[in-house]
Structure 1
């Protein structure tokens, strides 16, 4: 196996110059860079990433922890992060936490053991206090889709309360007053915020919050099915439904059609997230846009700016939701 010393000798340059070429140092001329690259190609030399990491104290990799690997929401998030980092010559190591405290902590410890230069975390079960203590360690952390006041400069989050408000306000402005709400698991901060927004919209239009018109779902299609089934039993005059994510909205739409509801004439449904298949449902789903791909880009930019000192990167920490009007919401 060829060595860096052989590359140096063949290219006629110093070891330091070979090192600078491998680390993409801009102080090396293009002519010298080509000589070194040609020597590496001729000898079949491949840089040892572990050795480079030990020498530079950088692995050029970012650890990412997400709740799940399946589903369009997390796919968009990871794609946004990875594409931005790859363009900057960095790589990602990905693991999952499954929204369970023990598994989230285990995933974080795994990423730390891989000598990642920083961690981007989508965590839902660990406490704010845990994250604050973790932030004091040597490996920088950045938080996705969650707001922690003490770490607000390290968070990339959505104004979820506004999203919940906009969803219910959209239904009210179409004349609906008997509005059900299928939320996500209440231990998740984004679920609680979206429910708060729903309640704010009701209050603004002098409509009472009725416990019988609220169902705690699971952010999955099954939650939408079970939620609509329960809400219809509680109030057969239900004319509209707000769901805290699009997967539950799709489940509710499926259940509604199977039980004789015409959509949106018999029941209006609005989702949340604007995942890729929302525009392919029938009817096409009116929803709240959650710019998760753009937020993934921003989390990566925050890491690049903070860890690698990349210049001229403008950081936006909080994103605002918008209504995407399609065909699943009608007037009464």
Structure 2
């Protein structure tokens, strides 16, 4: 692998001159710059970004920590951050936290070791205190999909509880009274808050959810399938299901149809997130739109801005509200 010394020797210049060319520095003639660039291409020389960061004091990367590479929701999150990275001629560095305290800690440390100054973090398992410590240590750290009052100016979050209320209002407006819930088995804020909002709205309408109306499983297609099988096996009577996310909802619809139920004629199903797949399921999925890509873009811009202007107001952070998207998987109770 070619080094900066190899380039300097072949171009007949100093390593300092090559460095100035790499960093678009002054005091290099056009002919010399062109010759150095040509030899860099000829030798296949690529600057070491960590070394450049040490010299320029500026990182050329934008980091993001997500739990899972395969989930379309988190793919959208990463895509939003990547879009801002490209606009700023930066490279995206991605690390996964796997909904594990130790993995999330390692993911953030991995990015720090690579001198990544601006990081968008999706963390569900690290304690508030540890996140606060990271945020104080890293001016460009921004937390997405979670709110911590002490670092409110660095938080981009969705009102999941309001989303649960919106889902309940929609099903109630269609005349449904026998309601069931499918939720994630992970003990994190998102499913708890969505369920809380849903249940509170039902209570205000004089309805209640019994224990056997609520099932939990993995927050994916297979989890939705297994959870629905549990509901059916329990002989629970239900005419509508509120599901934690779209993947589980689509798995639930498939299982209902396999067992002779027509959606939404027999059972209405509403999801959450509005991932791309929800528009192409059959029937097309009614869901709550979670503007995760828009939020990720804003989070990335905020992370970059925090480097130059770290101190801003606290307040309630940057809160987003989910929006109901009516499609074909819910209808009036017949």
Q: Answer whether TM exceeds 0.5 for this pair.
A: yes
Residue aligning to 1:3 = 8
**Alignment root-mean-square deviation, CA:** 2.7
SS in 1 for 2:63: strand
Task: Please point out which of 16, 23, 38 is paired with 2:34.
Answer: 38
SS in 2 for 1:293: helix
* Stretch of structure 1 that moved more, 232-241 or 116-125: 232-241
- Contact 1:60/1:91, CA 8 A, preserved across alignment: yes
Residue aligning to 1:154 = 154
Residue aligning to 1:90 = 90
SS in 1 for 2:129: helix
Residue aligning to 1:325 = 326
Residues 227 and 306 of structure 1, relative CA distance in 2, 3 Å threshold: same
1:35 Cα shift? 5.8
Residue aligning to 1:284 = 284
State the aligned residue count.
317
1:36 Cα shift? 6.5
Residues 36 and 65 of structure 1, relative CA distance in 2, 3 Å threshold: farther
1:5 Cα shift? 11
Distance 2:147 2:65 in 1: 16
- Contact 2:264/2:328, CA 8 A, preserved across alignment: yes
* Stretch of structure 1 that moved more, 174-183 or 33-42: 33-42
Runs of at least 5 residues in structure 2 that lack an aligned partner in the other structure: 1-5, 311-316
Residues 327 and 183 of structure 1, relative CA distance in 2, 3 Å threshold: same
Q: Deviations over 1:283-306 (max 9, x none)?
A: 110001011111111111111211
Distance 1:222 1:321 in 2: 25
1:132 Cα shift? 1.2
Residue aligning to 1:253 = 253
Residues 22 and 331 of structure 1, relative CA distance in 2, 3 Å threshold: same
Runs of at least 5 residues in structure 1 that lack an aligned partner in the other structure: 311-315
1:15 Cα shift? 5.3
Q: How does 1:210-249 map to 2 (within 5 A)?
A: 210-249=210-249
Residues 34 and 122 of structure 1, relative CA distance in 2, 3 Å threshold: farther
Q: How does 1:18-167 map to 2 (within 5 A)?
A: 19=20, 22-23=22-23, 37-44=33-40, 46-138=46-138, 140-167=140-167
1:23 Cα shift? 4.4
* Stretch of structure 1 that moved more, 231-240 or 85-94: 231-240
Distance 1:163 1:35 in 2: 61
- Contact 1:4/1:15, CA 8 A, preserved across alignment: no
Residue aligning to 1:189 = 189
